[in-house]
Amino acid sequence: MTYYYQNSQVIEAMTIPFTVTIASTNDKEGKKLCQDTTPKIEEELKRIERDYSAFCDNSLVSRFGNGESSILLSHLEFQEIYKQVTAASKATNGIFDPYFSGKYNPTGYVKGWAIEKCYQDFLAPLLSRDAVVGVYLNGGGDIQCGIQLYSGFQWTVGVENPDKLNEVSAIYNLENSALATSGYSKRGKHVVSKDITLQQVTVQHEHLATADVWATTLLAAPAESRTTLLSNYHLNAVLIFEDRKEVYQNGEKKDVQKI
């Protein structure tokens, strides 16, 4: 039986903790890789915060919101994010709204995008190493993770119960996947649910930026719109209500459990 070592380091950025974890068959190598990679991720997260925080007066987002429209033409990364949040708003019939605060604010997209970007830039390349079987980046409960193919390794992730944080409401065994959770116990989710009994939404997807958009959208959506969106976009999700848990696979309701 193969033993896997897991080495982790925690970063504070965007007012939340980010956890970098590398699973390997060689503890010494895994530890060094984690120590070497974490500062690079921290630097990139802080750069993203400087550029895209709506709370930094000199960020690209704040400057654009204050009328500096030339940023959209001159900054390719900003342009790509703007395109993605505009597409998300259209796909969700405006429920996901980058102008929810009155000015352009892509917060509901940027956090997931930032985690996915750092994962792709700094962690995914490590899977080419023989000793590395898995890499994982968690930012405030939103996760992008991967494994070395045919390694047999999986990431086991528990999603907190929104009312009892020492309990889990769902357990996922992930390989190359992303998981986003939006709820009233989570920070940074600027939404108001039309269904006050809905407490939390977790969405699984290949890409965290997409999962984060849908988790935010489904929490905010009216019940009838939520069902349609789940079905039309074939979403994998767990919805936690005050009295029940609903599990969806490829947009179809597969299970309902009373709480």
Q: What sign does the dihedral 233-235-240-245 (CA atoms) show?
A: positive
Confidence (pLDDT) at 189:
44
What topology does CATH give the domain 5-254?
A: T-fold (3.10.520)
Give 192's pLDDT tier (boundaries 50, 70, 90). very low
Of 88-92, 233-237, 242-246, the one with minimum mean pLDDT is 242-246
Closest to 216 (Cα-Cα) out of 247, 240, 193: 193
Mean pLDDT for all residues in the chain: 92
User: Residue 54 forms beta bridges with which residues?
Assistant: none
Q: What is the mean pLDDT of residues 15-22?
A: 96
Give 191's pLDDT tier (boundaries 50, 70, 90). very low
Claim: this prediction has a pTM higher than 0.95: no
Closest to 179 (Cα-Cα) out of 217, 152, 206, 218: 206
Q: Count of alpha carbons within 13 Å of 257, Cβ hemisphere only?
A: 10
Confidence (pLDDT) at 259:
76
Q: What is the mean pLDDT of residues 240-259?
A: 92
DSSP string, 128-167: GSTTEEEEEEEETTEEEEEE-TTS---EEEEEEPSS-TTS
Helical (H) or strand (E) element with 17? strand 16-24
Separation of alpha carbons 28 and 245, rounded Å: 42
Under DSSP, is residue 239 helix (H, G, I), strand (E, B) or coil? strand
Confidence (pLDDT) at 160:
84
The pair of structure tokens assigned to 161 is 């119960």
- Is 112 a residue whose pLDDT tops 60? yes
- Is 250 a residue whose pLDDT tops 60? yes
Confidence (pLDDT) at 161:
80
Of 33-37, 43-47, 52-56, the one with minimum mean pLDDT is 52-56
Report the b/e string of 201-237 with b at 16+ CB within 10 A.
bbbbbebbbbbbbbbbbbbbbeeebbeebbeebebbb
Confidence (pLDDT) at 163:
75
Which residues, including other chains, have CB under 8 Å from residue 35's CB and lie 6 or more apart?
Answer: 9
Q: What is the mean pLDDT of residues 47-62?
A: 96
First-to-last C-alpha distance (Å) of the chain:
38
Closest to 216 (Cα-Cα) out of 189, 236, 197: 189
